[in-house]
Amino acid sequence: MKRIFRFCMYFLALLWVIPLLWLIWTAIRPSQLATSLSFSVDFTLDNFIDAWQKAPFAQYYLNTFYIVFGILIVQLITATLAAYVFARLNFWGKKVIFILILVQLMIPIDVLIFPNYNVLRDLSLLNTKLGIMIPYFATAFGIFLLRQRFKSVPYELEEVAKLEGCGILETIWKVYVPLAKPTYIAFGLVSVSYHWSSFLWPLIVTDSAQNRPLTVGLSLFAQSFETGAQWAEVSAATFMVIFPLLLAFFIFQKEFISSFMQSGIK
């Protein structure tokens, strides 16, 4: 019984890794072999070079970096301030505001593509990188995650900081932020991988290569081919898009897993 279970699970793990191997296999073999499963030792990087030349992937990369880290930086600021308030201050209207922020957890921005498109149009932010980023600047998830961490900081530390001469912002910066470092890493990883992967929203907002992130660029690149003839190149392009994420994942595996774990504990 136990053995059957284990065998099945090893088999499942194998099944799970096949798509990635298949992708790499296709990407590094000459494109004319892409449609066959035959084994040969041909190895080539031509597909990567071709893909890189046929579409402005460098620009896409830059855009994605800009968008992902732009979102993250603003999120860190807005979430830190709000989390501190919710963790430590008692103010008029706290409960109501708290519930309002819960609404965002309940209704993800992703389902509001149509109304937010209209908002963006009214703000003249269509087809801009800022337009892709701005709806995500406030993050209920980040606020809750940080608030939870801030609450566990011993209150005396804040009092010491006050006595030793820190103002409120300095206290947050010198006491809360360094103590919540693991939470920031967790939030950062979740946010970056989420927005790196985000597709539908940037697809709707952008209509020029200048502002498109990798995901949108990749889908356009893939759709520009009718037949399977260019599979190898599409695979290469796909691999280029996921490579930084996979690399980051392999390097920071522990952090990734523990941060995704943390992200679940609300």
* Touching another protein, residues 5-64 (CB under 8 A): 5-6, 9-10, 12-14, 16-20, 22-23, 26, 34-37
166 conformational bin, left if phi > 0, alpha if psi -120 to 50, beta if neither: beta
Q: Which long-range contacts (CB under 8 A, 24 or more apart) does 73-76 make?
A: 74/133, 74/137, 75/136, 75/137, 75/138, 75/139, 75/142, 75/187, 75/191, 76/142, 76/184, 76/187, 76/188
* Choices 39-47, 48-56, 114-122, 144-152; region in contact with another protein by CB under 8 A: 114-122
Q: Which residue is listed with tokens 């963790």?
A: 87
Q: Look at residues 224, 225, 219, 235 and name the one whose alpha carbon lies nearest to residue 47.
A: 235
Nearest distance from residue 133's CB to another protein, in Å?
10
**62 vs 112, beta carbon nearer another protein:** 112
DSSP state of 135: G
Candidates 40, 178, 208, 226; binder of another protein (CB under 8 A) is 178
Hey, what's the torsion of the CAs at 185, 186, 189, 195, to 10 degrees? Answer: -120
Candidates 58, 92, 124, 226; binder of another protein (CB under 8 A) is 92
* Choices 42-50, 53-61, 65-73, 174-182; region in contact with another protein by CB under 8 A: 174-182
Candidates 157, 185, 209, 255; binder of another protein (CB under 8 A) is 157
Q: Does 215 interact with another protein (rule: CB under 8 A)?
A: yes
Number of neighbouring beta carbons within 10 Å of residue 193? 17
Candidates 53, 160, 210, 251; binder of another protein (CB under 8 A) is 160
Nearest distance from residue 128's CB to another protein, in Å?
15
Candidates 41, 43, 106, 124; binder of another protein (CB under 8 A) is 106
Q: Does 242 interact with another protein (rule: CB under 8 A)?
A: yes
H helices of the chain, where? 2-27, 46-54, 57-88, 94-106, 113-122, 129-133, 140-151, 155-163, 168-171, 177-179, 181-197, 200-205, 214-223, 231-251, 253-264
Candidates 52, 65, 66, 117; binder of another protein (CB under 8 A) is 117
- The structure tokens listed for 254 are 């522990």
Candidates 61, 65, 66, 137; binder of another protein (CB under 8 A) is 137
* Touching another protein, residues 243-262 (CB under 8 A): 245-246, 248-250, 253, 256-257, 260-261
Nearest distance from residue 210's CB to another protein, in Å?
20
Q: Does 193 interact with another protein (rule: CB under 8 A)?
A: yes
Q: Look at residues 197, 159, 179, 192 and name the one whose alpha carbon lies nearest to residue 80.
A: 179
Candidates 44, 62, 65, 112; binder of another protein (CB under 8 A) is 112
